[in-house]
Amino acid sequence: MELFASHFGTYEIARGPDGPALAPFRHDPDPSPLGAGFLALADHPTRVMQPMARKGWLAGDGGARRGDDTFVPVTMDRACDLAAAELDRIRKAHGNRAIFGGSYGWGSAGRFHHPQSQLKRFLNLAGGFVSARNTYSYGTAKVLLPHLVGPEFSDPGTFNPSWDRIVETRPFILSFGGMRLANAQVEAGGTGAHRTRGWIDRFAEAGGEMLTLSPDGRDAPTGRHLPIAAGTDACAMLAMAHVLLSENRVDEAAVKRIATGFDEIRALILGLSDGQPKSSDWAAALTGIPASELTRIARKLSDGPALINLSWSLQRAVAGEQPYWVALVLAVLSGQIGRPGCGIACGLSAVSSVGNPLRRLRGPAFEQGRNPVAEYIPVARIAEMLERPGETIAYNGAPLTLPDIRLIWWAGGNPFHHHQDLNRLARAWRRPETVIVQESVWTATARHADLVFPSALPTERDDIAAASRDNWILRSTKVMEPPSGVETDHAVLSRIADRLGFADAFHEGLSEAEWLARLYEGYRAAYPELPGWPEFCATGYARLADPEPQDVTQPLEAFCADPAANPLPTPSGRIELLPDLLRAEDHRLGAPLSHVRASDAEEDTALPLRLLSPQPETRLHSQLDGAPLATEARRHGCEVARAHPDDIAKAGLTSGVPALLGNARGSVLVVIEADPALAPGHVVLPTGGWYRPATIDGERIDLGGNPNTLTRDTGSSELSQGASAGGARVRLNAFRGTIPAGNPGTGR
């Protein structure tokens, strides 16, 4: 069977007289329609068809016109000569610590044609590079959780009870931020079966109760929705903890058996340490949820069984550690932590695999080798790195020196989608001497480059797809040939490595087909039950069998049953409710926890709306933005933003008209639509619109409608330095001009 594997799942390839088509994989119970959109990119107007060099860079402008310049075509040989010479010049003049290998992104579900791995292997062989740590998606919680429960729970999903246990136990699920089923369409590395929707349906059919607290009613996949003001989730949780303590619903001895810091947390929640009890009345004024409702929910948690779910979006905010931190406190105080199917979950439905009871298929990736350069930055601090070379920032309890970057090399990603305050990034991006990008389409990142290499699309190469959190491995077959002159990232980097004298070390004399066979044998060595290579190629897929029910254990279950025999990898061996490091962190994080709305100190509170920027339903990030589903979702060629009808009327607008969302960081062009299911005071603009700044009547406007034009670029806190996009304040105004014509993007 010929299959195409993508981040959206697996598709069967049908070949006919009119060309190839992609059909849903027969073993997928809930296939996503999005992956079929790759076929529309083959000859899309934004396709990069040949190497291109920026005119100003060739003339030696030092980056002055980067992002606002024209490109000229160059031959592949000339482009490789230029890239090799520039890399060699930078490393000799400034050292490899002046090279930043970005390549953050979702360029391929394949394990071989994984742009990040290909580029990092190449740069490591060239002497190393400054790297980026953590992710935009989960970077705040990933740094926080090891301080609370140990490093083994840092990755998303490891904290969660599995859906089969949840359905069996039928706990009351209190979901902060919700479970957007559109997110469960995707998985880094792909999947053969989307199962999240089925599990949620089974939970509801079994009589399970779910309550979603979110500003947006669309975040609730089932059950009841209760609006809450953005950024106040920790306030609601503190109030619930206050109810448990004030009504003597906390088993103090049981808590102290599994956790440290109870006395100090108790004093903070009751207001004994700062004079402000975190009562339901206190939280009602902040959250918009009646005090009686907060009290009722707290009692329901205490009565159990109960599970607190947190969306990943909650921690992408200033002080984004707080909701995750307080949720753990609440799960401990309510006595639900460690009970089967109960306690706490991080990101159920955030991606396809989270919560699914699976044997994880952890196998080899394309080997990157060792990086001789030790310097790194948290990934969300790119603009700061470029603006402040040589200065320091705090990160995870220690100072971190920002490197002096002269060369950026990016492959398979689009920081001009992922990053915040894109106008600031565009200014900082002009500082390096050279930016090299490998890309299949003219993303905003490619347009902000100096030298652009064309890359084959995932549909234009053979590969093996597998996700370390999933149980499927797939043989992804080339659906079509790439355009003439367009090569894979591996082929391009092999060319450049040859000019630098390490081509043999880079490709090891293996063809791409031989690399695929080698990678698969690595999976077979780890999982002998997988079929042999010829059989796998013929079938197109394999999967690990689901674990037996008795083999599925609840995270923290063994620890809570016997903490002495099963200690956690924390200093105390127990859950740390108030670790020493967090006591000393900056005011936005924990001194005290009641400062949960400190983000307002950095925002213009006169602006009436809080911006929410969830993942889109019609693409992944900005990937497939030029495919039919994303194109058809626009109105008048613009991204669609949703607001409550009252907020639209206050702005003097009507639903369905072009409008501007703006703040001090910039303006974006959207079509505003009314949605009564959205809480007043909020506006929703999904991520992924291509950043396309233009000056109209003297105003700089992002025509692509990317919300990150408006989001703030400050670290969540000095602990994690994670992304802080959530809850930026904006205004809604009329757009008086004419919408310029332009092609939508197809990037990541």
Per residue in 112-136, pLDDT tens?
A: 999 999 999 999 999 999 999 999 9
Mean residue pLDDT across the chain: 93
Which pLDDT band, with edges at 50, 70 and 90, does 355 fall under? very high
Amino acid at 335: G
CA angle 164, 165, 166 (to 5 degrees): 90
E strand or H helix at 117: helix 115-125
Contacts of 660 (CB under 8 A, 6+ apart): 667, 668, 669, 670, 701, 732, 733, 734, 735
Strands 131-133 and 172-176: unpaired
Length, in residues, of the chain: 748
The per-residue b/e assignment along 33-47, b for 16 or more CB within 10 angstroms, e otherwise, is bbbbbbbbbbebebb
- Please tell me the predicted confidence (pLDDT) of residue 679: 98
| CA 721 centroid distance within chain | 15
Q: Is the pLDDT of residue 382 over 50?
A: yes
The region of weakest confidence among 111-125, 662-676, 732-746 is 732-746
State how far the Cα of 496 lies from the Cα of 125, in Å rounded to an integer.
12
Nearest to 684 by CA among 743, 740, 734, 617: 617
- Please tell me the predicted confidence (pLDDT) of residue 599: 46
Express each pLDDT in 488-522 by its tens digit: 999 999 999 999 999 999 999 999 999 999 999 99
State how far the Cα of 633 lies from the Cα of 617, in Å rounded to an integer.
9
- Please tell me the predicted confidence (pLDDT) of residue 591: 43
Q: Is the pLDDT of residue 322 over 80?
A: yes
Which pLDDT band, with edges at 50, 70 and 90, does 552 fall under? low
Burial of 59 (0-12, 13-18, 19+ CB in 10 A): exposed
| 631-654 average pLDDT score | 96
Q: Is the pLDDT of residue 594 over 70?
A: no
Q: Looking at per-residue confidence, does 347 or 595 come out higher?
A: 347
Q: Is the pLDDT of residue 214 over 50?
A: yes
20 SS3 class: strand
Express each pLDDT in 693-705 by its tens digit: 999 988 899 999 9
Q: Is the pLDDT of residue 151 over 80?
A: yes
Which pLDDT band, with edges at 50, 70 and 90, does 646 fall under? very high
Q: Beta-carbon neighbour count of residue 492 at 10 Å?
A: 24
Contact 64, 430 (CB under 8 A): yes
Tokens 């740094």 locate to 143
Amino acid at 539: T
Listing from the earlier edge strand, what are the strands of the sheet with 172-176? Answer: 224-226, 210-213, 172-176, 306-310, 343-346
The region of weakest confidence among 315-324, 452-461, 501-510, 586-595 is 586-595
Contacts of 330 (CB under 8 A, 6+ apart): 237, 240, 241, 244, 301, 308
Which pLDDT band, with edges at 50, 70 and 90, does 584 fall under? low
- Distances 316 to 56, 148, 569 between C-alpha atoms, Å: 37, 18, 26
| 143-170 average pLDDT score | 91
User: According to DSSP H, which parts of 641-703 are helical?
Assistant: 645-650
State how far the Cα of 685 lies from the Cα of 27, in Å rounded to an integer.
34
Which residues make beta-bridge pairs with 541? 474
| 410-415 average pLDDT score | 92
| 7-19 average pLDDT score | 95
Amino acid at 145: L
State how far the Cα of 170 lies from the Cα of 304, in Å rounded to an integer.
10
Axis-axis angle for helices 233-246, 321-333 (nearest 10): 20
- Please tell me the predicted confidence (pLDDT) of residue 596: 46
Is the N-terminal amide bond of 305 cis, ω within 30° of 0? yes
Express each pLDDT in 470-488 by its tens digit: 999 999 999 999 999 999 9
Q: Is the pLDDT of residue 302 over 70?
A: yes
Contact 132, 383 (CB under 8 A): no
Nearest to 705 by CA among 628, 610, 642, 638: 638
Q: Is the pLDDT of residue 572 over 80?
A: yes
Tokens 């607290």 locate to 213
CA angle 704, 710, 715 (to 5 degrees): 130
- Please tell me the predicted confidence (pLDDT) of residue 546: 85
Tokens of 187: 């998985």
- Please tell me the predicted confidence (pLDDT) of residue 582: 77
Nearest to 295 by CA among 350, 334, 348, 240: 240
Contact 527, 120 (CB under 8 A): no
E strand or H helix at 326: helix 321-333
Q: Beta-carbon neighbour count of residue 513 at 10 Å?
A: 10
Phi, psi of 455, rounded to the nearest 5 degrees: -125, 145
Contacts of 303 (CB under 8 A, 6+ apart): none
Contact 48, 745 (CB under 8 A): no
Contacts of 474 (CB under 8 A, 6+ apart): 3, 5, 10, 190, 192, 464, 465, 466, 540, 541
- Please tell me the predicted confidence (pLDDT) of residue 159: 81
| CA 546 centroid distance within chain | 27
Express each pLDDT in 85-100 by its tens digit: 999 999 999 999 999 9
Contact 688, 422 (CB under 8 A): no
